[in-house]
């Protein structure tokens, strides 16, 4: 049994003919950059996202950076973000000479703790970047209330949760990334909607703001060689767009496959002492970009990982060093983050992808049992 964290090859095999034929069409057209396929994909993704405008760009990190630029944030402005997340979110804030302000995460759902946001707001605060971590939405209704009260922009980092659904208390629903001012995502190969290289996009409801973001991604121009604002060069190439356009049709199917795999894990793991299975908030669906368990602090995580590795089972730790302890960001710490601190020592992400089988999952769980009790 060869178990992988993500099985991109197995997924490709099932749609190989479609993908190959679409790639060939782009090559035949030679419209490699900004070809019609990029617009076609953007328009299809826009339909999937209830009509918000989709502006493709080069990767998920650029999407976050361009979003902050489009909102007109100025050096010294403060931006609130969860401290238990991937570095990209903090990095682009710091790159633009904005100040990252960290907030601890919810112990059950691992997304930003909405009860601790207000105490971090100052007269310089301009935006909040909630991250829909591991595949479920942060508590957007509460976050939007805070945004309204303090007049803050919201950028939803949806790199791990494309296709997840948020449900408001009045039962209205919205797709992840379409609730705040801007949603951003990544099409990195291992993401839930991944291409075969780098890619990213912004989701923007407001047409004026969408126009500005599109200009920034294209050297600040809307008319060629007329640079009205400072921008950058951030494009999704046509071959990646062609691949994404095929895979978009399967996105809901892929989410279901991940949810089914998560159900299997939940069933197999739920009664194991020393393991806490992922909790799902009542306000969000979960698309399981990661299936992340929390180990009892007495379990030696390192030894468990090595034990599993010897049996051919890969596992990952997202994230082993919290942002406030990273050399580049340690100066921004500004407080203590006990939940993140604990998670960094106890989380473990198990293999989950669209091709994983029940048999593989049974083997993974029985191996975990062997380690804990064997």
| Minimum CB distance to ligand PLP smaller for 58 or for 209 | 58
The pair of structure tokens assigned to 198 is 């780098």
| Minimum CB distance to ligand PLP smaller for 190 or for 266 | 190
122 Cβ contact list (under 8 Å, min separation 6): 78
Shortest Å distance, C-beta 323 to ligand PLP: 12
Shortest Å distance, C-beta 177 to ligand PLP: 12
| Minimum CB distance to ligand PLP smaller for 264 or for 337 | 337
Burial of 300 (0-12, 13-18, 19+ CB in 10 A): exposed
Rounded CA separation 294/313 (Å): 18
Shortest Å distance, C-beta 157 to ligand PLP: 5
Rounded CA separation 201/194 (Å): 12
| Minimum CB distance to ligand PLP smaller for 11 or for 361 | 11
| Minimum CB distance to ligand PLP smaller for 111 or for 361 | 111
| Minimum CB distance to ligand PLP smaller for 186 or for 218 | 186
What does residue 263 show for φ and ψ, rounded to 5 degrees?
A: -60, -45
| Minimum CB distance to ligand PLP smaller for 160 or for 285 | 160
Print burial letters for 314-325: b (CB count within 10 Å at least 16), e (below 16).
ebbbbbeebbbe
Nearest to 214 by CA among 74, 46, 29, 92: 46
Kind plus residue range of the DSSP H or E element containing 173 = strand 173-175
Chain position whose Cβ is nearest to ligand PLP: 60
The pair of structure tokens assigned to 339 is 């939940």
Shortest Å distance, C-beta 268 to ligand PLP: 26
Shortest Å distance, C-beta 76 to ligand PLP: 24
Shortest Å distance, C-beta 116 to ligand PLP: 19
Shortest Å distance, C-beta 139 to ligand PLP: 17
Interacting residues with ligand PLP (CB under 6 A): 59-61, 85-86, 88-89, 131, 157, 159-160, 186, 188, 198, 200
Rounded CA separation 223/56 (Å): 18
Q: Under a CB-based contact definition with an 8 Å cutoff, are residues 11 and 190 in contact?
A: no
| Minimum CB distance to ligand PLP smaller for 85 or for 238 | 85
| Minimum CB distance to ligand PLP smaller for 88 or for 117 | 88
Q: What is the CA radius of gyration of the chain?
A: 21
Shortest Å distance, C-beta 270 to ligand PLP: 27
Shortest Å distance, C-beta 80 to ligand PLP: 15
Rounded CA separation 103/132 (Å): 14
CA 137 centroid distance within chain: 10
In terms of DSSP bridges, do strands 53-57 and 200-204 run parallel, antiparallel, or are they unpaired?
antiparallel
Rounded CA separation 147/125 (Å): 10
Q: Under a CB-based contact definition with an 8 Å cutoff, are residues 100 and 223 in contact?
A: no
Kind plus residue range of the DSSP H or E element containing 254 = helix 251-269
């Amino acid at each position: 049994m060869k178990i992988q964290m993500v099985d991109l090859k197995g997924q490709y095999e099932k749609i190989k003919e479609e993908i190959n034929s679409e790639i060939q069409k782009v090559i035949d057209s030679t419209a490699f950059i900004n070809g019609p396929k990029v617009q076609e994909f953007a328009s299809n993704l826009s339909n999937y996202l209830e009509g918000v405008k989709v502006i493709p760009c080069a990767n998920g990190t650029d999407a976050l950076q361009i979003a902050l630029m489009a909102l007109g944030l100025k050096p010294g402005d403060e931006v609130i973000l969860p401290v238990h997340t991937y570095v990209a979110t903090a990095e682009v804030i710091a790159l633009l000479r904005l100040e990252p302000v960290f907030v601890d995460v919810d112990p059950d759902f691992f997304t930003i703790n909405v009860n601790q946001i207000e105490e971090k707001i100052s007269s310089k605060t301009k935006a909040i970047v909630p991250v829909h971590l591991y595949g479920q939405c942060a508590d957007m209704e509460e976050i939007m209330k805070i945004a309204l009260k303090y007049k803050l922009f919201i950028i939803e980092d949806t790199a791990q949760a494309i296709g997840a659904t948020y449900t408001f208390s009045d039962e209205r629903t919205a797709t992840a990334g379409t609730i705040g001012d801007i949603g951003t995502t990544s099409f990195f190969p291992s993401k839930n909607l991944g291409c075969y290289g780098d890619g990213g996009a912004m989701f923007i409801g407001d047409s004026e703001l969408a126009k500005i973001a599109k200009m920034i991604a294209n050297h600040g121009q809307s008319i060629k060689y007329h640079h009205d604002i400072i921008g950058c060069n951030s494009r999704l190439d046509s071959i990646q767009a062609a691949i994404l356009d095929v895979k978009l049709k399967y996105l809901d199917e892929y989410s279901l496959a991940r949810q089914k795999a998560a159900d299997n894990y939940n069933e197999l793991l739920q009664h194991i002492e020393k393991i806490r299975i992922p909790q799902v908030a009542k306000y969000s669906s979960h698309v399981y970009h990661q299936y992340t368990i929390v180990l009892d602090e007495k379990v030696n995580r390192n030894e468990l990982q090595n034990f599993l590795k010897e049996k051919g089972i890969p596992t990952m730790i997202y994230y082993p060093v919290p942002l406030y302890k990273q050399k580049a960001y340690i100066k921004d710490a500004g407080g203590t983050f006990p939940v993140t601190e604990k998670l960094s020592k106890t989380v473990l992400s198990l293999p989950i992808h669209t091709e994983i089988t029940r048999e593989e999952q049974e083997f993974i769980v029985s191996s975990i049992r062997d380690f804990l009790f064997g």
